[in-house]
């Protein structure tokens, strides 16, 4: 099945970007705020699993995680503005960007892998197991592997994401 | 002054980085990774001080400060490299000085916050001490936001910069008002309990 040339283009987003010059840079700022929230909090959680700040019990650390989700949502919403309104900012259609921009492809792949990694954290029982890791305790080895993967993948998401304009 | 900037811009190092698209883009990407570590962990620490995750002991958060400093030095290094590429543009743009000023203010606030909250926990046991910690944490979040906004709008024209800054302020005020109410309702935030 061939996708239409205008796949993922949203006229109202393009109109908004064309009508107001501040929409695109505002979304850039919010994308950065979102990534800061998401990666900052995920980094703290993952590093504790890896043994940094061992004086900290893991269960209460979970209370920071909803803010990482807020950061992720902020990134997804603004990321969708960039994709669906791309045609208004540069002469590249979203479908073309998805097909030719290897950095965008790698970023999306790393986000998918980070999602699978998170699924593995939950389905392997590690998510529940780490709740009993108290002050001074080591996290289980599998939780450490998942935490190291998470750190690597999210840093990769930032790396590939920053390169997207050079792949268009 | 302009001659010096032009000489830096035309230097062998500057030309080498500009001509290597891999080196240039990697420098930009590491600048963002450094920001995520430095600002991200600052945000997590500030949120805890402001009452998020109030059962989380605050003292161990200090163990993440070395990574924040790693983030700072990554950004200082990559920032100097990026500045050396187009100094005639960057160093003649007032936005860059707002960004640099905000970063300096953030680092000074971070150091004051660390000394106040973790330097033996002076004053944390008192309401006045806790209030000062919350003020410092709020100031830290604000100056980081100023640094991010100034950094992102550098490439735009002055009217767009001003409009974007106004949009961030309006958006921020709306989100803070709605978000604060929602976060309290959901129990994500509460009366600050320092618990260092």
Domain residue limits, chain A: 11-167
Selecting from A23, A26, A60 the residue whose C-beta is nearest the C-beta of B56 gives A60
Task: Tell me what percent of the residues of chain B surpass a pLDDT of 70.
Answer: 93
Whether A146 and B20 have beta carbons less than 8 Å apart is answered as no
Q: Supply the pLDDT for residue B189.
A: 67
DSSP assignment letter at A130: G
Average pLDDT rounded to a whole number, residues B67-83: 96
Selecting from A22, A64, A163 the residue whose C-beta is nearest the C-beta of B29 gives A163
Strand partners, B189: B52
Selecting from B47, B153, B168 the residue whose C-beta is nearest the C-beta of A67 gives B47
CA distances in angstroms from B81 to A112, B24, B30, B126, B171, listed in the order given: 32, 9, 11, 45, 33
Residue B85 has pLDDT above 90, yes or no: yes
Residue B196 has pLDDT above 50, yes or no: no
Phi, psi of B171 (to 5 degrees): -60, -45
Selecting from A22, A39, A41 the residue whose C-beta is nearest the C-beta of B160 gives A22
A9-49 pLDDT, tens per residue? 999 999 999 999 999 999 999 999 999 999 999 999 999 99
Query: Min CA distance, B1 vs chain A (Å)?
Result: 31
- Alpha carbon distance A145, B139 (integer Å): 36
DSSP assignment letter at A45: H
Which chain B residue has the Cα nearest residue A56?
B60
- Cβ <8 Å between A60 and B60: no
Which chain B residue has the Cα nearest residue A24?
B164
Q: Supply the pLDDT for residue B187.
A: 73
List CB contacts (< 8 A) between A57 and chain B: 57
> Which of B164, B166, B187 has the highest number of chain A CBs within 10 A, making it the mutation to test binding with A?
B164
Residue B193 has pLDDT above 70, yes or no: no
Q: How confident is the model at residue A60 (pLDDT cuts 50, 70, 90)?
A: very high
> Which residue, chain included where needed, has tokens 């980081």?
B144
Q: Supply the pLDDT for residue B181.
A: 84
Q: Supply the pLDDT for residue A101.
A: 96
Query: Min CA distance, A167 vs chain B (Å)?
Result: 11
Structure tokens at A110: 């790393």
Q: How confident is the model at residue B121 (pLDDT cuts 50, 70, 90)?
A: low
- Alpha carbon distance B157, A136 (integer Å): 52
Q: Is A62 helix (H, G, I), strand (E, B) or coil?
A: helix
Residue A148, Cα to own-chain centre: how many angstroms? Answer: 16
Region class of A137: left (phi > 0), else alpha (psi between -120 and 50), else beta: beta
**Is B41 in CB contact (< 8 Å) with chain A?**
yes
Selecting from B25, B55, B163 the residue whose C-beta is nearest the C-beta of A60 gives B55
Count, residues in chain B: 196
Which chain A residue has the Cα nearest residue B163?
A22
Instruction: State which H helix or E strand residue A91 sits in.
Output: none
Interface of B with A in 90-129 (CB under 8 A): none
Whether A49 and A58 have beta carbons less than 8 Å apart is answered as yes
| A–B CB contacts, 8 A cutoff, strictly below | 140
List CB contacts (< 8 A) between A43 and chain B: 36-37, 40-41, 67
Average pLDDT rounded to a whole number, residues A67-81: 96
Q: Supply the pLDDT for residue B186.
A: 79
Q: How confident is the model at residue B84 (pLDDT cuts 50, 70, 90)?
A: very high
Q: Supply the pLDDT for residue B54.
A: 87
Q: Which of A76, A95, A94, A82 is nearest to A28 (CA)?
A: A82
- Alpha carbon distance B16, A43 (integer Å): 34
- Alpha carbon distance B95, B147 (integer Å): 10
- Alpha carbon distance A117, A22 (integer Å): 36
Average pLDDT rounded to a whole number, residues A52-81: 95
A92-131 pLDDT, tens per residue? 999 999 999 999 999 999 999 999 999 999 999 999 999 9
Average pLDDT rounded to a whole number, residues A67-96: 95
Q: Supply the pLDDT for residue A38.
A: 97
Residue B191 has pLDDT above 70, yes or no: no
Structure tokens at A82: 């960039």
Query: What's the longest Cα–Cα distance across chain A?
Result: 57
Residue B101 has pLDDT above 70, yes or no: yes
- Cβ <8 Å between B36 and A158: yes
Cα dihedral B43, B48, B51, B56 in deg (nearest 10): 160
Which chain A residue has the Cα nearest residue B142?
A33
The runs of H, that is alpha helices, within chain B are 2-9, 12-19, 21-49, 65-85, 87-90, 94-117, 127-153, 158-186
> For residue B77, how many other CB atoms are within 10 A of its CB?
14
Whether A167 and A107 have beta carbons less than 8 Å apart is answered as no
B139-188 pLDDT, tens per residue? 999 999 999 999 999 989 999 999 999 999 999 889 888 877 887 787 76
Average pLDDT of chain B to the nearest whole number: 90
Residue A4 has pLDDT above 70, yes or no: yes
Q: Supply the pLDDT for residue A168.
A: 87
Q: Which of A19, A152, A31, A156 is nearest to A83 (CA)?
A: A31
Q: Is B12 exposed, middle or buried (0-12, 13-18, 19+ CB in 10 A)?
A: exposed
């Amino acid at each position: 099945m061939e996708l239409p040339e205008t796949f993922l283009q949203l006229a109202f987003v393009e109109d908004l970007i064309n009508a107001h010059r501040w929409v695109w840079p505002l979304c850039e700022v919010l994308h950065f705020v979102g990534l800061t929230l998401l990666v900052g909090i995920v980094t703290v959680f993952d590093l504790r699993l890896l043994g940094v700040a061992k004086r900290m019990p893991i269960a209460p650390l979970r209370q920071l995680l909803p803010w990482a989700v807020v950061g992720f949502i902020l990134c997804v919403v603004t990321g969708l503005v960039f994709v669906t309104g791309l045609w208004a900012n540069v002469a590249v259609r979203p479908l073309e960007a998805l097909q030719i921009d290897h950095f965008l492809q790698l970023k999306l792949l790393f986000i998918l892998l980070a999602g699978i990694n998170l699924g593995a954290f939950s389905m392997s029982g590690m998510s529940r197991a780490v709740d009993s890791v108290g002050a001074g305790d080591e996290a289980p080895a599998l939780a450490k592997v998942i935490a190291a993967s998470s750190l690597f993948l999210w840093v990769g998401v930032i790396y590939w994401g920053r390169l997207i304009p050079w792949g268009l | 002054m302009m001659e010096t900037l032009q000489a830096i811009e035309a230097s062998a190092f500057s030309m080498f980085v500009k001509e290597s698209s891999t080196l240039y883009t990697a420098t930009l990407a590491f600048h963002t990774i450094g920001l995520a570590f430095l600002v991200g962990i600052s945000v997590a620490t500030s949120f805890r001080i402001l009452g998020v995750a109030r059962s989380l002991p605050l003292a161990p958060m200090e163990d993440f400060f070395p990574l924040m400093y790693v983030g700072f030095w990554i950004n200082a290094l990559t920032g100097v490299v990026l500045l050396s590429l187009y100094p005639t543009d960057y160093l003649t743009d007032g936005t860059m000085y707002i960004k640099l000023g905000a970063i300096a203010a953030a680092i000074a606030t971070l150091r004051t916050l660390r000394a106040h909250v973790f330097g033996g926990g002076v004053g944390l046991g008192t309401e006045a001490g806790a209030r000062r910690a919350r003020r410092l944490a709020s100031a830290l979040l604000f100056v980081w936001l100023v640094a991010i906004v100034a950094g992102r709008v550098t490439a735009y024209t002055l009217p767009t910069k001003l409009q974007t800054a106004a949009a961030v302020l309006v958006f921020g005020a709306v989100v803070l008002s709605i978000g604060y109410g929602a976060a309290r309702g959901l129990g994500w935030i509460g009366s600050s309990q320092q618990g260092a």
